[in-house]
Structure 1
């Protein structure tokens, strides 16, 4: 008979960042009924995850999303007598709901998401990406908030309240100051709090009006500008590792991930193609 395996590994990225990550393995453990103060969004990654919530029973298969609003009572156990695995993000509502508000151009300090169990490959990949890069976001407030905003945007799209990004030729003076600050300090670990102080407005209002005028959130704009600057330096033959540190990336793998998302190749591949 196989030995029972139960493992629960938490990583707290800090209350200022608003994300706690859990990677769990369960073979013969069952949760009793309980509720969280946070919004919990998880992905089943192996086996069958059985649970009950709001008077209904659910069976979650690999790739499925599980979502519990704050205060929703639920339990959980492995299904079919098999070992199951899942990843769960516990999100601080005071930080996550305003980001949903930014994505939907609404004032959202509280929001009840009606869906408890569903399939959405995009949201699943975003949840798992934060889990994989948890140590990185633990050291980078910008990276953490960027990941949260991407999840907030996806949830807003699923709920049908997302408002697409706009772009306008005329920019407000305070946003031009923010843009110039980004350009002048691109090598630094810029945070949204830094930018909100430059504009003298709240960070959530900044995110909302910035994306309406630049077509990107401040997080996206910073990453985009870093990648564009890195491209120019890579063309001169500097090593990707040096370039990553020069332009404020956490490490080379951090730059690799964002660069490939933008251009389809890694910085090293890009460099070798242009300098061959």
Structure 2
């Protein structure tokens, strides 16, 4: 039987933790968070941009923000797994405490960490977050874990020096117009770029087509609305989907659960 549980807390509003027992498959998708995943049993096929890995116990999957990825079961046995999503701004604050001279979030060059100790510490962190422990204890262990992670892998963190201001401006525009049905032609007019160039830009920088990226942004926005108790029909409208079935189909395709199943974790 498939099962999905979420942990969130208003005092830890920079994170979301998902536990699932599932053999569902996910379409390639993106998050605007740093995402870290671990499975407790079996194996999964983990893709990150153009790379593919067999993810198993004692490994962590690392997914940088706005990175196309998937993690799908390759057997009929349901996997148990944790997926932790962390605000890019919060991660930057932790990084800056270690590397004071950095000016912005630093992505990991690792897509996969093979380290039993770090894996076990991550599992303990996830178990603690789902427990009834004090917020202070949860936050302390979270900071300790990420501080140790960045210190451990500081030589394997890359600082991106490419000028990606154009793609960032397009992303900002899409976020601002999240309710709209934006076309490549709209983007072309707004940024004085050819539709062909924009298509290549999304493939090069994000490894995901522009329309798929925009759908992902809408789903990320929808998650926040559902968490705050907005009805599914109103959420679909606020996110600019054609109708509720269109919203339902895309939500399930990306998250492998329905909007109602997702909302039931937060709204009682």
TM-score normalised according to structure 1 size: 0.51
For the pair 1:78 / 2:112, whether they are aligned, the reply is no
Distance 1:86 1:136, change over 3 A: closer
Cα drift, residue 44 of structure 1: 1.5
For the pair 1:6 / 2:2, whether they are aligned, the reply is yes
Q: Give the Cα–Cα distance (whole angstroms) in 2 for the partners of residues 15 and 37 of structure 1.
A: 20
Q: Give the Cα–Cα distance (whole angstroms) in 2 for the partners of residues 125 and 106 of structure 1.
A: 31
Paired residues for 1:81-230 under 5 Å: 81-107=76-102, 109-135=104-130, 139-140=134-135, 142-160=136-154
Cα drift, residue 108 of structure 1: 5.3
Cα drift, residue 47 of structure 1: 0.4
Give 1:241's aligned residue: none
Q: Contact conserved, 1:43 with 1:86, CA < 8 A, in 2?
A: yes
Cα drift, residue 92 of structure 1: 1.2
Cα drift, residue 14 of structure 1: 2.8
Cα drift, residue 131 of structure 1: 1.5
- Matched residue SS, 2:37: strand
For the pair 1:68 / 2:63, whether they are aligned, the reply is yes
- Matched residue SS, 1:46: coil
State the structure with bigger RCO (CA 8 A, min sep 6), 1 or 2. Answer: 2
- Matched residue SS, 2:5: strand
Larger radius of gyration: 1
Q: Give the Cα–Cα distance (whole angstroms) in 2 for the partners of residues 97 and 138 of structure 1.
A: 26
Cα drift, residue 16 of structure 1: 4.3
**Cα deviations by residue, 1:130-188 (Å, 9 ceiling, x for unpaired):** 21111558852x333322222222221332359xxxxxxxxxxxxxxxxxxxxxxxxxx
Equivalent position to 1:31, from 22, 26, 33: 26
Give 2:45's aligned residue: 50
Kindly tell me the number of residue pairs found equivalent between the two proteins. 156
- Matched residue SS, 1:34: coil
Could you tell me which runs of 5 or more consecutive residues in structure 1 were left unpaired when the two chains were aligned: 163-276
Q: Contact conserved, 1:26 with 1:77, CA < 8 A, in 2?
A: no
- Matched residue SS, 1:114: coil
Distance 1:136 1:101, change over 3 A: farther
Q: Contact conserved, 2:49 with 2:67, CA < 8 A, in 1?
A: yes
Could you tell me which runs of 5 or more consecutive residues in structure 2 were left unpaired when the two chains were aligned: 157-268
Q: Give the Cα–Cα distance (whole angstroms) in 1 for the partners of residues 54 and 11 of structure 2.
A: 31
Q: Give the Cα–Cα distance (whole angstroms) in 1 for the partners of residues 133 and 29 of structure 2.
A: 27
Q: Contact conserved, 1:42 with 1:127, CA < 8 A, in 2?
A: no
- Matched residue SS, 2:92: helix
Q: Contact conserved, 1:13 with 1:134, CA < 8 A, in 2?
A: no
Give 1:209's aligned residue: none
Cα drift, residue 32 of structure 1: 0.8
RMSD of Structure 2 on Structure 1 (CA): 2.3
Cα drift, residue 52 of structure 1: 1.4
TM-score normalised according to structure 2 size: 0.52
Distance 1:161 1:132, change over 3 A: same
